[in-house]
C-alpha cells in the first residue's frame, strides 16, 4: 500500500515536469489575451498625425508600403549621366545685310546703351576693311566699312545702331548665329544708291561675305537683307515709281546671287512733319504686298514720339534697340515658320496681312502702346 502511494506520487511528479518542458516560456491563452488587452489599453506615445478628411480611421506614421528608400547603407549606385545640351554648330549661320541710310547707320545712337553681343549669337564680316576674318559685333556697328568709290560715311556719322539688339533677339528666337554685314550710309537718296559705284559696292560686299563663309567651311542657312531707308527721298518728293525701280536695280543682283528676302523697316517722321515720308512708306508696303522677295519687318517708327528723336531726322539708341528687337521678331518668325508675320501698322491701326495669310489668325505681331511706355526702361 505504501509502495503504491509512493509510485503514484512519483508518476504525478514526472508528469508535471514533462508538462513544463513542453510549454516553456509560452503563456496560456488566458495570459495571451491579457497581454494583448493591456498593450491596446496603454499604447506607447507617438506623435499623432491628423486624419481629418482623409478617410483613414487608424493612421500610423511610418514608411508603409510606399517606402522606396534604403534601410541599410550599401555603396551608392552610379547615377545616370545627365545628357548634355548639344553643342551649337558655330559654322551653321545666317547671313544678314544691314542696309540703308542714317537711321540704319545709327547717326543718333549711343554705343554705350546698345546691348552686348556674344560671339555665339553673331559676328561681323567686314567686307571693305578686312574681308579675311570675322569680328565680334560691337557698336558703332560698321564704323570701319567705308568704300571711297561706293558707300562711305563721314567721320562721326555712326554712333550706335539697331544691329546689336537685332542679333540678340534673332538668336534668342531661332538659336541661329548671325553673320552681319554693314551696307549703309547716311543722307543717301536713291540717286546715290542707283549709281554704278554703289551698286557695284553693294554686290561686292555681299559676294565677298558669301565667298568667305563658303571657303571657310560655313553653311549659310538663310540669306536676308534688312532695309531702313527713304527719308531723303521723302524730303525730296521722289516719285514712288522711281523709288521702286531704283530699289529693284540695287537688290536684283543680290537676289540673283542667292539672297532670299529683303525685310523693310518703314521710316518714321521728322519732328515737324508726321506724314512727310508717307509716299515712300506706301510704295514700300506695295512692293512687299506684290513681291514675295520683300516683306515688312516693322512699322513701329511711324508711332514713336518725337521726344525720342535726337534731332529733326534721327532716333536715339533706345528707339534703335526697340526697332532692332521688333524687326528681329519678324525675321525670326519667317525663319522658324517659312511664312511672313502679320505685322501691325502703327500709322493706320490695322494689320498688314501678307498674301495667303489668315487675317483673323492669332499668331501675329502684338502692338506696343507707345503712348504709355518708357522706352528708356523697356528697351
* Mean pLDDT value across residues 224-236: 98
What pLDDT, on the 0 to 100 scale, is given for residue 31?
A: 39
More confidently predicted of 360 and 136: 136
d(CA 218, CA 290): 33
Among 4-18, 38-52, 223-237, 291-305, where is mean pLDDT lowest?
A: 38-52
What pLDDT, on the 0 to 100 scale, is given for residue 142?
A: 98
Summarised one tens digit per residue, pLDDT across range 6-39 is 444 444 444 444 444 444 343 343 333 443 444 3
What pLDDT, on the 0 to 100 scale, is given for residue 21?
A: 42
Query: Domain spanning 92-378: which CATH class is it, in words?
Result: alpha beta
**What percentage of the chain exceeds 90 in pLDDT?**
69
* Mean pLDDT value across residues 210-219: 98
pTM (2 decimals)?
0.77
pLDDT band at 82 (very low <50, low <70, confident <90, very high): low
For 237, phi then psi, to 5°, come to 60, 45
Q: Exposed (0-12), middle (13-18) or buried (19+): which is 194, by Cβ within 10 Å?
A: middle
Give me 202's grid cell.
Answer: 553693294
Say if residues 309 and 376 touch (Cβ distance below 8 Å).
no
What pLDDT, on the 0 to 100 scale, is given for residue 11?
A: 47
What pLDDT, on the 0 to 100 scale, is given for residue 355?
A: 84
What pLDDT, on the 0 to 100 scale, is given for residue 22?
A: 42
Average model confidence (pLDDT) across the chain: 83
- Per-domain residue ranges of the chain: 92-378
* Mean pLDDT value across residues 230-246: 98
* Mean pLDDT value across residues 108-112: 97
d(CA 350, CA 72): 70
Amino acid at each position: 500500500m505504501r509502495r503504491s502511494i509512493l509510485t503514484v506520487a512519483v508518476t504525478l511528479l514526472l508528469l508535471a515536469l514533462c508538462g513544463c518542458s513542453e510549454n516553456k516560456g509560452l503563456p496560456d491563452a488566458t495570459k495571451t489575451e491579457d497581454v494583448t488587452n493591456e498593450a491596446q489599453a496603454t499604447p506607447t506615445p507617438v506623435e499623432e498625425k491628423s486624419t481629418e478628411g482623409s478617410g483613414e480611421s487608424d493612421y500610423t506614421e511610418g514608411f508603409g508600403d510606399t517606402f522606396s528608400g534604403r534601410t541599410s547603407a550599401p555603396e551608392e549606385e552610379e547615377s545616370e549621366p545627365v545628357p548634355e545640351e548639344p553643342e551649337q554648330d558655330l559654322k551653321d549661320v545666317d547671313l544678314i545685310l544691314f542696309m540703308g541710310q542714317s537711321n540704319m547707320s545709327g547717326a543718333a545712337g549711343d554705343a554705350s546703351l546698345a546691348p552686348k553681343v556674344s560671339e555665339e549669337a553673331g559676328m561681323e564680316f567686314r567686307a571693305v576693311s578686312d574681308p579675311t576674318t570675322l569680328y565680334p559685333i560691337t557698336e558703332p556697328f560698321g564704323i570701319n566699312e567705308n568704300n571711297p568709290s561706293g558707300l562711305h560715311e563721314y567721320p562721326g556719322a555712326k554712333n550706335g545702331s539697331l544691329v546689336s539688339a537685332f542679333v540678340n533677339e534673332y538668336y534668342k528666337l531661332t538659336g541661329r548665329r548671325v553673320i552681319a554685314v554693314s551696307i549703309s550710309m547716311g543722307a543717301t537718296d536713291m540717286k546715290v544708291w542707283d549709281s554704278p559705284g554703289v551698286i557695284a559696292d553693294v554686290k561686292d560686299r555681299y559676294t565677298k561675305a558669301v565667298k568667305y563663309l563658303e571657303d571657310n567651311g560655313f553653311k549659310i542657312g538663310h540669306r536676308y537683307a534688312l532695309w531702313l531707308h527713304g527719308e531723303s527721298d521723302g524730303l525730296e518728293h521722289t516719285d514712288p515709281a522711281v523709288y521702286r525701280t531704283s530699289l529693284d536695280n540695287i537688290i536684283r543682283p543680290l537676289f540673283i546671287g542667292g539672297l532670299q528676302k529683303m525685310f523693310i523697316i518703314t521710316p518714321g517722321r521728322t519732328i515737324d512733319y508726321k506724314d512727310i515720308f508717307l509716299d515712300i512708306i506706301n510704295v514700300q508696303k506695295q512692293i512687299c504686298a506684290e513681291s514675295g522677295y520683300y516683306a515688312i519687318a516693322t512699322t513701329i517708327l511711324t508711332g514713336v514720339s518725337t521726344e525720342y528723336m535726337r534731332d529733326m531726322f534721327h532716333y536715339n539708341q533706345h528707339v534703335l534697340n526697340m526697332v532692332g528687337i521688333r524687326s528681329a521678331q519678324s525675321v525670326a518668325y519667317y525663319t522658324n515658320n517659312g511664312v511672313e508675320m502679320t505685322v501691325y501698322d502703327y500709322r493706320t491701326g490695322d494689320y498688314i496681312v501678307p498674301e495667303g495669310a489668315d487675317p483673323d489668325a492669332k499668331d501675329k505681331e502684338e502692338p506696343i502702346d507707345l503712348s504709355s511706355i518708357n522706352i528708356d526702361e523697356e528697351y
